[in-house]
Amino acid sequence: MPVLGGIADDFTGATDLATNLVARGLRTVVTLGVPSGEDLPADVDAVVIAVKTRTAEVTEAVTTARAALRALRELGCERIYDKYCSTFDSTPQGNIGPVVDALLADLDAPGTVIVPAFPDTERTVYQGRLFVGSELLDDSSMRHHPLTPMTESRVRLLLEPQTRHAVGEVFHQVVRRGPAALRAALDAEFAAGRPLVVVDAIDDDDLRTIAEATRDLPLITGGSGLALGLAQADRAGEPARQAALIPVVDGHRAVLAGSASAATRAQVAHARDRLPWWKLNLSALRADLDAEVAAVVEWARARWAEDALRPVLVYAVDSLADVEPPPSDGGEPASVLVERALGRCATLFAEHGMGRLVVAGGETSGTVLTALEVTRLRLGAPLSPGVSWAAGTTRAGAVVNLALKSGNFGDEDIFTSSWERLA
């Protein structure tokens, strides 16, 4: 029976969290949408439900998160982990604050922590301010994100417009004094009517302190980094065995990149020099999406005929100049067109023998997994912090190997080097 239940606000976030739980020795399953008990192995320690709520309408996001919470409690989960992006991707309306408010109320919890830090990916919080590497969040490339532009770095100021609760802060000098000092500070914040508390973390030792100080709280929230602070399960070698035992599927290889993030753009630039590539044409998609997708598929089949194991790259964005503003006439935004096209490409690629797929972007990953009708993921070999290979099981029982990459994550060569990590 699982003891920990995760709710992740997009599909790459779910695999990101699961990767870190596996690293702590927890046997972890990711489900796409709300599961039932018969969907799960009997010996699972943690269940992560992937929901597509990061940029959903607020009411929809809250309803979906509450349904996931009910399912996790019915499965027997004793603690809940609300996972959002380590760059706190949200708007003044939500969805981080409204979802945390709803989960806190449903669990009747006294309060919780807000911990977006993931030091292994250079996301840290110091004096309440979120850094991306050496830059404050609002000085980083996230300031220009097309869906959730981040123009403030102080997490409290990002969260306050989204929540009905007062927001507290505990700074690094308290965290460094250890779990008891941190817990005393948290209890003081809760007692003062500030049930949401932003906590500094600049390295994994801080994450371990936070995890120890909050081990009896029914709800914790943060990026996936906080999972690395959880106590190691008493199961020596289990993560390596779990990674080694995922099914490996033969077949053609592809990369589908819908993200416009700086990291993904650099990865695309690196791969363009090494892989056959196709850049989606937005004008062609608007004119006839099916025809453009058919052209992509025929191109990919021709490349695979030349070399069956060479990956093909299909992507949407080279630079921010490719990111179109929302249309004024009410037509479909470019991001929606790209997702639809990549989802369709994934389906048709699979029909033509694709067995291994790297996907870049949280929204894109959700669309692709939905198109492929994948219902469950089993995590395998890690590629970089927060990114792993997985075996995805479809509704029909077929298996496909997937690496789902948040737009901001991954090494520059991930599109070209990841294949050798899947034996």
pLDDT by residue, tens only, the chain of 423 residues: 688 999 999 888 898 899 899 888 888 889 988 776 566 666 788 999 999 888 899 999 999 999 999 999 998 999 999 999 999 999 999 999 999 999 999 999 999 999 999 999 999 999 999 999 999 999 998 887 777 888 899 999 999 999 999 999 999 999 999 999 999 999 999 999 999 999 999 999 999 999 999 999 999 999 999 999 998 875 544 444 444 468 899 999 999 999 988 899 999 999 999 999 999 999 999 999 999 999 999 999 999 999 999 999 999 999 887 877 767 666 788 889 999 999 999 999 999 999 999 999 888 998 999 999 998 888 876 788 888 889 999 988 899 999 999 888 889 999 999 998 886
Query: Looking up tokens 């702590």, which residue turns up?
Result: 24
Confidence (pLDDT) at 38: 61
Confidence (pLDDT) at 423: 62
Whether the CB-CB separation of 342 and 372 falls below 8 Å is answered with no
Query: Looking up tokens 């936070």, which residue turns up?
Result: 210
Q: Domains in the chain, start-ordered, CATH in brackets?
A: 4-241 (3.40.50.10840), 246-421 (3.40.980.20)
Which long-range contacts does 39-43 make (Cβ < 8 Å, 24+ apart)? 39/375, 39/376, 40/2, 40/75
Confidence (pLDDT) at 41: 65
Model pLDDT for residues 263-274, shown as the tens digit of each residue = 999 999 999 999
Confidence (pLDDT) at 108: 97
Q: Where are the beta strands (DSSP E) in 76-195?
A: 79-83, 112-115, 123-126, 129-132, 135-136, 167-170
Query: Looking up tokens 């921010």, which residue turns up?
Result: 320
Write the DSSP assignment of 350-389 as a string of letters.
HHTTEEEEEEESHHHHHHHHHHHTEEEEEEEEEEETTEEE
Query: Quick one: DSSP state of residue 154?
Result: B
Q: Where are the beta strands (DSSP E) in 10-126?
A: 28-32, 46-50, 79-83, 112-115, 123-126
Whether the CB-CB separation of 117 and 223 falls below 8 Å is answered with yes
The C-alpha atoms of residue 368 and residue 345 are separated, in whole angstroms, by 9
Confidence (pLDDT) at 141: 81
E strand or H helix that includes residue 303: helix 282-306
Distance set, CA 2 to CA 37, 75, 139 (Å): 11, 7, 40
Confidence (pLDDT) at 244: 40
